[in-house]
Structure 1
C-alpha cells in the first residue's frame, strides 16, 4: 500500500542544521534521476562532483539520509540530502501516485519474469553475470553452498569478509562501509544455504572461521550505521542454528565457545554462550563451567571472565557467597563494586552484611573523585530507613572533610537540616573545613574558593563579601556577589564592576565586547540607585572616546543604549 510523505521541511532543517539547510536551497535545480519508492527516495545531485543521495523513511515517520559527498560520508545529513528532500516535498501531492507507479512497474517486471521460459531466464542471468562480476561471485557462492564443495564455500565466505578491497588507507571508512556490509551479508546467506542443503556440520566449521575473521576486522571498520554489527549478529545466529542441526561434540563446542567469548577481538559477534544450552547439554555445560572458572581464577580482573563467571553462577543458582567472591576479586576504586555486592546481599535477605560492605566501600574509596554517588545514596537511604539521621549526617560530614566541595557542603546541609543540627553545630564546623583550604591571598584574582561558593549558596552575603575581600574569590565569584548585593549595597557592587571593566578595555573580540557591555549595564544600574547618573555619563563618554577605534564595540554599545 502506497502512502504520502511522512517528513516535513521542519524535519529536514532539524536533521541538517540551519547552515546545511540554507545551502541545500541552492541545489534544487541540480537534481536529476529522482526516483520515489515506497520507503526509499534516490536521486543524483550535481555539485562540485556528481553525488548519489538516498533518503529513507521508516514506519514511525523518521527520516535518514545518505550521500557519498565528503560531508555525507562522515554520517551527516548534508545539503544534497536537503535538496532532494525539498524537491520531493515540492511534489508532495503526486508522491502517492508516483509510489503507486513504482509498485506497478515492480509488479509488471515480476509478471514478465514469471512469463519467461527457463531458457530465456538463463540467458538473461548469463547476460547480467557477464556485466556484473560482483553478482557472479555471489551466485557462485550460492551454487557452491547448494553443491558438495565446502572448500569453495569457505574460500568465498572469507573472501566476502575480506576488508582489503574496501580499506583505502588500511581502514574501512564510513563511505565504504555500506558496500562492504552488503557484500559481507552474502556470507550469512551462503552459510544458511549450507545448513539448509544438509551440510550443517560444514556450516559450523565455516561459520567459526567467518566469525573469527569478522571479529578481527571489525575494529578497522567505521560501522556508524551498525550494518556490520548486523552481519556479525547474523553470523552468530547462523552458527547457532547450524549447531542445533548438526549437534557437534558438546565438549569441543564448549571449548570453542569459551575461547571465543573470552577473546576481546570477538566482541563484535556478541555470541552468548548461554544460548547454547540445548546444544551443549549437561556434558558441554560442565566443560564450559570448568573452563570459565579456570579462566576467571587466572584473570579475576578480566571483564569478560568476570561477566561470564557471574552469569554462570546465577545460572547455576550458586548462592550469593559465590557471587560476592567473584565481585570481591576486583573492587572498583570508587566503591561501585562494594555497592553491587551490597545489593546482592540485600536481595538475599542479609541486610546487615550488605550495609557492612557498603560502608566499607566508603572507607576504601581511593578515587580522586570520591565514592560512587549511588553508593553514598545507598548508605544514607538505609540509615534514614532505620531512623538514624545522625548517622546520615556523619556520612555526609566525613565526605566533606575528605573531599571538600560545594556539593558535599550542600548534602551535609540537607542532612543536618533534617536532623535539626545544621545551624547549631554542623554549619560552623563545615565552614571551618572550607576556610582551612581557602588560602586567603589579597592579590588573588583567579581560582575562587569553595568557601565563597558555599556562603553564596547559604545567602550569607556579608560573610561571602568578607571572604572575597580576604582574597578567597575569583572573577566569577566577585561578579556573582556584586549581582547579589547590588540593590542593597550599590557602591560596593560598583567597585567590583569597574574593577573588571578595566582589563576588558585592552581586549578585542565579540566575547570581550559582550562582557564589557554587560558590566557597563550593571555599573549604570548602580549609579541610578546611587543617584549619580551624571558621573556614569562622564565615565562612559571617556570610555567611548578611548575605545572609538573598535567600531564593532561601538555598535554593540549603541545597540544597548550606552
Structure 2
C-alpha cells in the first residue's frame, strides 16, 4: 500500500485508543520513514519503540513494546505515530519514494568504494555494534568451514539464557530471541552455500533438537519461534537436496522426527523428501510408518503420517483402515470415512459407513450431529423420507432442544407427516415442563417450540400455566401484540417496572424499546391518553437520568 488514512488508524485502534492517541502527538520523536515501514520513539509512562508496517499481507499493521501493544493491540502510541507521519509536510507516498531513493543512493555510493574503503567501513561498524560483530563472526566461521566454531556459536544463539526470566522467555522478549535464533539458521544455511551441505544437515538437526528443548519455555504467541522452526526445516531440506544423504538413515530420522515432539516446531512433511529419498527411502518411510501405527493405532501422529502416505498413494482403502482402527463412539469417525468415500466416488460405501455409525454408537444421546445431518441429507435426496424423520425423532428424543425440534419439523414436513410428529413432540416437551426441564433462557423448551411454530394462543396458555422466562414472555408479547394487545401490554409494563430502578445505557435502551411497544398496544386499544399519562409520570420520576431523557427524546417519546 502506498499510504493510509486517519480512518485506517481509527478502524485498527478503535475509537478509545484513537482519541487517546491524539494526546501523544507531541511525544513522538526520532520518526523515520522507510520504504516499507515507519518507526519512532514515543514517550509516555515509559519510552516505547513503535513501528508501523505498510506492506504486509494484512495491509497496515503495527507493533509497540508498551504493555497494551505487546498484547497484540493497535495502541495509542501507534495512532500517534501514524497521525504524525500523516501530518508531515510531504505526503506519505512521497516520503516513501524518498526513502527508496536514499537506499538507492547508499547502494550507489557503496559501489564506488574500493575494497580497502569497504573493509574500513565494515571494521568501523564491527567495532561500534556488538550484534553486527557477532553476526559477521558467525558468517566467517561458516565460510571457512569451521564446524566447531559454527556449532559453538549456534548453541550460543539458541540459548535462552539472556532472555529468560526465572527460566521463561516472556512475550516481550520472544521476538528478540526469535531474531537471534534466526541468525543461527542463517549460519547453518551458509554452510550449504559454501559446499558443506553434509555439515548443514547435521547442524540443522541439532538446532531442531535444541529449539524443541526450549520451546515450552517461550511465549511464542506471535509465532516468532515457529517461523524459525519452519526456516530450519527448509535449510535441512535444501541441504539434503544439495548433498543427498543415505536414504535409509534419512527415512528413519524423518519418521522419528514426525512422530516425535520436534514436528510441533518444524512441521516437516516426509513427502517433501521424495526426491531426496527415492523409491528405496520412501519404501523405508512407509514400512516404518506402518510399524509405528500398528504399535499405536490410536496415536495422533501415527495416524496422521499413515493417512498422509495413503492419500499420496491414492489408496482410499488404506485411509479407511487407519480411521477404522480407532472409531470414536459418537460416530464422528464413521462420518470422516463416509466423506473420504464420497470424495473417492463411492457413495454406496459412504452411506453404509454412515449407517454403521448410527448402529455402532455406544450412546445415541452423544451421537455426532454431523453424522445425523449427513444421513438425513442422503435420505432426503434418495426419497427415504421416513428414515430421515426417524433419525430426527431419535435425535429430538435424546436432545430436546429448539434446534432439534426445528430439524424434526423440517424432516416431517418434507415427509408430509408433521401433524402426527408435532403432537408427539409437544407431548414430550409438556412432560419435560412438568419435570422442570428448561431450554433457552432457562425457560421451558415447550414455549420456545410453540413460539417457533407461531402458535401464539397455545404458547400463551403454556406460559400462563407453567411459567416462562422473561425473554420468552417478551417474545410472546411481541408476537401476540396485534391480536392480544391488552395481554401484551401487561407483559411490557411488568418487564419495564424493574428497569425504572436501574441505570446504564443498556438498561435505558431496553426500557425505551418496551415503551415503544406499550405505545403501540395503547394505540391498538384506543387508550393513547392513558399512555401519555403513564409516560409523563415516568419522565417526572426519571428526570435525573439525562441519558434516558435524551434517548426518549430521540425516539419521540
Q: Distance in 2 between matches of 1:505 and 1:88?
A: 49
In structure 2, relative to structure 1, the CA distance for the partners of 1:517 and 1:315 (3 Å cut) is closer
Q: Is residue 404 of structure 1 aligned with residue 395 of structure 2?
A: no
Task: Measure the CA separation in 1 of the matches of 2:533 and 2:207.
Answer: 81
Q: Give a deviation string over 1:283-340, Cα, whole Å, max 9, x none.
A: 32232222212222222222111110111223344x4333222102222344221111
Q: Is the 8 A contact 2:208 2:262 kept in 1?
A: no
Q: Deviations over 1:368-426 (max 9, x none)?
A: 98544442332122222322222222222221122121111112222222222223x22
The match for 2:465 is 470
Range 484-493 or range 510-519, more displaced: 510-519
User: In the alignment, is residue 105 of structure 1 matched against residue 84 of structure 2?
Assistant: no
Q: Which residues of 2 match residues 226-237 of structure 1 at below 5 A?
A: 226-237=223-234
Cα distance in structure 1, aligned partners of 2:313 and 2:504 = 67
Single out whichever of 286-295 and 267-276 deviates more from structure 2. Answer: 286-295
Instruction: Please state how far the C-alpha of 1:18 moved relative to its aligned partner.
Output: 0.8
Q: Check whether the contact 1:362–1:371 (CA below 8 A) recurs between aligned residues.
A: yes
* 1:515 aligns to 2:527 (yes or no): no
Please state whether the residue corresponding to 1:216 is helix, strand or coil. helix
Question: Kindly tell me: are residues 219 and 163 of structure 1, through their superposed partners in 2, closer, same or farther at Cα, counting changes over 3 Å?
Answer: same
TM-score (norm 2): 0.91
Q: How many residues align?
A: 556
What is the match of residue 481 of structure 2? 486
Question: Bigger shift: 432-441 or 411-420?
Answer: 432-441
- For the residues of structure 1 that align with 2:452 and 2:376, how far apart are their CA atoms? 23
Q: Report what 1:359 is aligned to.
A: 355
Tell me how far apart the structure 2 counterparts of residues 98 and 518 of structure 1 sit (CA, whole Å).
Answer: 52
Equivalent residues of 1:261, 1:272 under 8 A apart: yes
Displacement after TM superposition at 1:476 (Å): 0.8
Question: Which residue of the other structure, out of 49, 60, 66, is the alignment partner of 1:69?
Answer: 66
User: Is residue 460 from structure 1 mapped to residue 483 from structure 2 by the alignment?
Assistant: no
Deviates more, 1:152-161 or 1:332-341: 332-341
Residue in 1 aligned with 2:378? 382
Distance 1:56 1:348 in 2: 45
> For the residues of structure 2 that align with 1:538 and 1:148, how far apart are their CA atoms?
94
Structure 1 residues 399-408 or 94-103, which shifts more?
Answer: 94-103
Match of 1:448 among 443, 448, 471: 443
What SS class does the counterpart of residue 165 from structure 1 fall into? coil
Distance of 1:332 and 1:260 partners within structure 2 = 27
CA deviations over 1:241-294 (Å, ceiling 9, x no partner): 112223222222122111111123531211111111222223322322222122
Q: 1:200, 1:245 within 8 Å by CA — same for their partners in 2?
A: yes
Distance, in Å, in 1 between the alignment partners of 2:529 and 2:461 is 30
Identify the residue that residue 428 of structure 1 maps to in structure 2.
423
Q: 1:367 to 1:241 in 2, by over 3 A?
A: farther
- Asked if the contact 1:253–1:280 (Cα under 8 Å) also holds between the matched residues in 2, the reply is yes
Moved more, 281-290 or 534-543: 534-543
1:416 and 2:412 correspond: yes
1:304 aligns with 2:305: no
Displacement of 1:460: 0.5
1:481 Cα deviation from its structure 2 partner: 0.4
- Which residue in the other structure is 1:239 paired with? 236
Corresponding residue for residue 336 of structure 2: 340
**Matched-pair contact (CA < 8 Å) for 1:43–1:54:** yes
Q: Give me the TM-score of the superposition, normalised by structure 1.
A: 0.90
Q: How far apart are residue 459 of structure 1 and its match? A: 0.6
Deviations 1:5-30 (A, max 9, x none): 33122111111111111111222222
Is the contact between residue 3 and residue 92 of structure 2 (CA under 8 Å) also seen in structure 1?
Answer: no
Q: Does structure 2 retain, via aligned residues, the 8 Å contact 1:144–1:152?
A: yes
Q: For the residues of structure 2 that align with 1:327 and 1:20, how far apart are their CA atoms? A: 50
Separation in 1, partners of 2:158, 2:542: 66
CA contact (8 A) 1:56 1:65 kept: yes
**Which residue number corresponds to residue 172 of structure 2?**
175
Residue pair 1:445, 1:475 contacting (<8 A) in 2 also: no
Alignment of 1:52-201 (within 5 A): 52-58=49-55, 62-91=59-88, 93-168=90-165, 170-201=167-198
